[in-house]
């Protein structure tokens, strides 16, 4: 053990001994002083009176504040919310009654140290009830349990200011940078609170924006991203200000980021700007079924600042950079509910009266519940004269695309088959005529 370490440990021991003697002197004075016993009696009386008032007043308050179950307006919700603070009634009443008695004891005895300590105890109990019974968020409960309650315990014992001075005077040196432990603790607590508040605010704003159904989905998505960037950017700037960091230093940081974007982050910047353009133009949005020039196809399930996520009908997700939606050809089969045209090809025998075929097929296909009359009803067209039969195709419009849950083409093929069979029309199969020159070979015996 070095001499410096031994000296530090000796200083800590001496400080602990001084605090122990200080506590012993206070305890001795309280135990031997009539004024202290009077203040103890007032504390007990104040607590007993608080218990009595709480028991009598709680049922009355619950009955008056609780709204009928069928009420859901904002006033009813506020009344229900106020009831969760009932656990604070007992310690706060004890604190108030003790405060009223403190003036009496100071006027009679010129001292109120004991009763002041009791007030701090009741305040600690109120904070403990708040953290234990009222706070429901897991993060805030953890922060209250490990930060607020220890701080209140130190305040109750009168050690909060010495602890703050000790942490402020303890300096951490990292190279040319030095800071106190207190500034680090303050930054951690403030950062945690700010970013929790930012997350809560972002959730609330996102919920509100998504409810605005009069806006296009792409516009809502852009508003959500803009609010998220604004909220967390503001939280970051506030944290820097709280920690005492000069905001002018951000100019240097911004220049460094600009250089990084110019060299190593070109693709990231390109994808981010492409994502903003997509959200502004609305040419593709969540729920659309798209097919890219590279062959990737699927339903858009998520749009982020970097990429768009497509879900195929076999359950796979394809991550497509936003830049691909700007620089390549994209086929949008959905286009927010537009109709699509499909066709089914078939053939009939040359013995068929082909003039009857269009009416038969068009009437049969039009009965399918998914086939539309607009923009055009089913249309059967003669396509050509094939080797084995006469070639036709029936075109039809549907609201959607032919994949996944929708089997329009398969359904129409069944309809065409059944309609031709019912009409007695033959669907041909290939015929081949084989000519053998020179006669058949004679089999040897």
Question: Which pLDDT tens digit goes with each residue over 13-50?
Answer: 565 556 555 555 555 555 555 566 677 777 788 888 88
Q: Which residue, 313, 284, 316, is CA-closest to 300? A: 284
First to last CA, the chain: 117
Q: Which fold has domain 267-332?
A: SH3 type barrels. (2.30.30)
Contact in structure between 424 and 396 (CB atoms under 8 Å): no
Q: Which residues, in sequence order, are bridge partners of residue 395?
A: 343, 379
The count of other CB atoms within 10 Å of the CB of residue 390 is 19
Cβ burial, residue 163 (10 Å; 0-12/13-18/19+): middle
Percent of the chain with pLDDT over 70: 77
Q: Which CATH number fits domain 340-422: 3.90.226.10, 3.60.130.10, 3.30.70.100, 3.40.50.10470?
A: 3.30.70.100
* pTM to 2 decimal places: 0.49
Give the pLDDT confidence score for residue 246 in this predicted structure: 61
Q: Supply the mean pLDDT for the chain.
A: 78
Average pLDDT, stretch 158-173? 80
75 vs 413: which has the higher pLDDT: 413
Which pLDDT tens digit goes with each residue over 372-407? Answer: 988 889 999 999 998 889 999 999 998 877 766 678
Give the pLDDT confidence score for residue 22 in this predicted structure: 56
pLDDT band with cut points at 50, 70 and 90 for residue 247 = low
pLDDT band with cut points at 50, 70 and 90 for residue 1 = very low
pLDDT band with cut points at 50, 70 and 90 for residue 306 = confident
Give the pLDDT confidence score for residue 243 in this predicted structure: 67
366 vs 290: which has the higher pLDDT: 366
**pLDDT at position 261 over 70:** no
Sequence spans of domains, the chain: 33-169, 188-246, 267-332, 340-422
pLDDT band with cut points at 50, 70 and 90 for residue 5 = very low
């Amino acid at each position: 053990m070095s001499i410096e370490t031994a000296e530090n440990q000796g200083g800590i021991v001496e400080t602990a001994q001084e605090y122990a003697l200080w506590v012993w002197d206070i305890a001795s004075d309280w135990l031997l002083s009539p004024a202290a016993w009077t203040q103890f009696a007032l504390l007990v009386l104040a607590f007993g009176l608080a218990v009595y008032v709480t028991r009598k007043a709680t049922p009355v308050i619950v009955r008056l504040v609780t709204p009928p179950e069928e009420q859901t307006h904002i006033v009813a919700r506020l009344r229900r919310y106020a009831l969760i603070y009932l656990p604070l009634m007992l310690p706060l009443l004890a604190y108030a009654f003790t405060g009223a008695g403190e003036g009496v004891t100071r006027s009679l005895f010129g001292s109120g140290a004991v009763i002041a300590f009791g007030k701090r105890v009741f305040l600690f109990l109120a904070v403990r009830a708040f953290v234990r019974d009222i706070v429901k968020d897991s993060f805030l409960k953890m922060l209250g349990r490990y930060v607020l309650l220890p701080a209140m315990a130190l305040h109750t014992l009168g050690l909060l200011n010495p602890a703050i001075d000790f942490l402020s005077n303890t300096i951490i040196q990292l190279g040319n940078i030095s800071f106190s432990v207190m500034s680090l603790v303050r930054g951690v607590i403030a950062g945690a609170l700010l970013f929790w508040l930012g997350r809560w605010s972002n959730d609330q704003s996102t919920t509100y924006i998504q409810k605005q159904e009069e806006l296009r989905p792409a516009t809502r998505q852009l508003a959500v991203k803009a609010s998220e960037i604004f909220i967390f950017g503001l939280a970051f700037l506030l944290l820097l200000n709280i920690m005492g960091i000069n905001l002018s230093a951000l100019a240097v940081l911004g220049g460094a980021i600009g250089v990084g974007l110019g060299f190593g982050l070109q693709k990231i910047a390109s994808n981010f700007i492409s994502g903003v353009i997509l959200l502004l133009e609305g040419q593709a949005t969540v729920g659309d079924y798209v097919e890219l020039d590279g062959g990737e196809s699927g339903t858009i399930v998520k749009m982020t600042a970097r990429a768009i996520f497509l879900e195929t009908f076999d359950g796979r997700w394809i991550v497509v950079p936003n830049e691909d939606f700007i620089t390549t050809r994209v086929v949008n089969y959905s286009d927010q509910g537009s109709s699509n045209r499909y066709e089914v090809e078939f053939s009939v025998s040359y013995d068929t009266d082909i003039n009857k075929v269009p009416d038969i097929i068009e009437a049969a296909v039009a009965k399918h519940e998914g086939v539309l009359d607009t923009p055009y009803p089913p249309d059967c067209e003669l396509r050509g004269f094939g080797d084995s039969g006469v070639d036709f195709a029936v075109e039809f419009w549907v609201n959607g695309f032919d994949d996944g849950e929708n089997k329009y083409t398969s359904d129409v093929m069944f309809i065409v088959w059944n309609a031709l069979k019912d009409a007695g029309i033959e669907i041909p199969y290939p015929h081949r005529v084989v000519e053998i020159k020179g006669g058949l070979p004679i089999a040897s015996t």
